[in-house]
Copies of this chain bind each other. A is one copy, B any other.
Amino acid sequence: MFDLRQIQVFLAVWKTRSFTKAAKEIHLTQPTVSGHIKALEDALGIQLFDRSGRKAVPTKAGEAFYPHARQIMRLFDKARRTMDTFCGGDSGELEVGGSNIPGQYILPLLIGRFKEGRPNCRIVLRIDDTSGIVSQVEHGELELGMVGGVVKRNTLHFEPCLEDRLLLVMPPGHRLAGKVDVSVEEILEEPFVAREVGSGSRMAAERALRDIGIEGFQGLNVVAEMGSTEAVRQAVKAGVGLAFISERAVKEDMEHGLLASATLEEMTLERSFYLVWHAKRSLSPLAEAFRDFVMEGEAVPPCNPPSGE
């Protein structure tokens, strides 16, 4: 089993045409060089150099071996370089997934920030519902996911990473627009637009409603159900009804006065987003860097700075 050292020694002798000079060049002693060349010649079953006089002259076989030796060296270097780029966490390819809100409103921003200063990495964002993202992470198709809820699996690790808040949103001219302590009674008769059953947003809202004694959306006047956050947003703007929407999805609309919100008394609309990764598999350095970047939390500051501060 001949190894790289022999190749390296061979190339040095080739270059210097001398065992002694080759030894100096690669910081070995002359007898060691002799040994390596002999070992290589034995392994190949043929003499590579004639060491008659002052010079070590390559034989025909040595000449034939030279291009191979060069190529092997180059290939090893290339392999090492390729692996080096993996170590830094600044290059390579990373596939992350996000459920609706994270996938559409949070991750694009995070990825953009992350890639500043890391131009050599490629990040693929896949958007699916929470269960889809989770199962892809479980099967190793995605290294990281960001979702709105925790799914109990002992192969997966969930870690809360960002806080989100549902807002009660309505068109700007609505009678509740801007009110701070809307009571439960005030919304009972309002028409509502909701996300479909099973979505993370729907579940988060129902949990919050149950906290204040309402039987989820069944206790509300739901006039429409929509399959995406975007659709709900458009419906509210069109005056179809009120809705609970992630603050991150309506930030822009609020700033431009295209939507208004109100605050419900005693209702906790906070929810968390979680990073998921496979507990048993190691993350690539790039994935690790991205995870740390997200966990730092400085990239995406809370959307609505706590008004009570």
Q: Which residues of A approach B to under 8 Å, CB–CB?
A: 1-5, 8, 44-47, 50, 52-53, 57, 59-61, 64-65, 68-69, 71-72, 75-76, 78-80, 82-84, 86-87, 92-93, 140, 143, 280-282, 284-287
Contacts and interface: CB of A to CB of B under 8 A. Distances in A.
A68 B50 contact: no
A281 B50 contact: yes
A45 B84 contact: yes
Contacts of A93: 60
Given A52-B281, A76-B72, A281-B50, A86 B64 contact: yes
Closest 7 CB pairs of A and B: A3-B3, A52-B280, A68-B79, A60-B284, A44-B83, A61-B86, A50-B281
Contacts of A69: 79
B5 A4 contact: no
A282 B46 CA distance: 10
B44 A140 contact: no
B53 A280 contact: yes
Contacts of A82: 64-65, 68
Contact of A284 (B8, B45, B61): B61
Contacts of A72: 72, 75-76, 79
Contacts of A286: 60
Contacts of A57: 140, 281
A11 to B, nearest CB: 13
A2 B285 CA distance: 22
Contact of A45 (B1, B3, B87, B281): B87
A58 to B, nearest CB: 10
A108 to B, nearest CB: 23
Given A2-B4, A71-B75, A83-B65, A60 B143 contact: yes
Contacts of A280: 50, 52-53
B60 A92 contact: yes
Contacts of A79: 65, 68-69, 72
A194 to B, nearest CB: 40
Contacts of A281: 50, 52, 57, 59
A172 to B, nearest CB: 48
Given A1-B8, A57-B140, A68-B78, 14 more contacts: A3-B3, A3-B5, A4-B4, A44-B83, A44-B87, A60-B92, A60-B143, A60-B286, A64-B82, A64-B83, A64-B86, A65-B83, A68-B82, A72-B76
Nearest to A279: B52
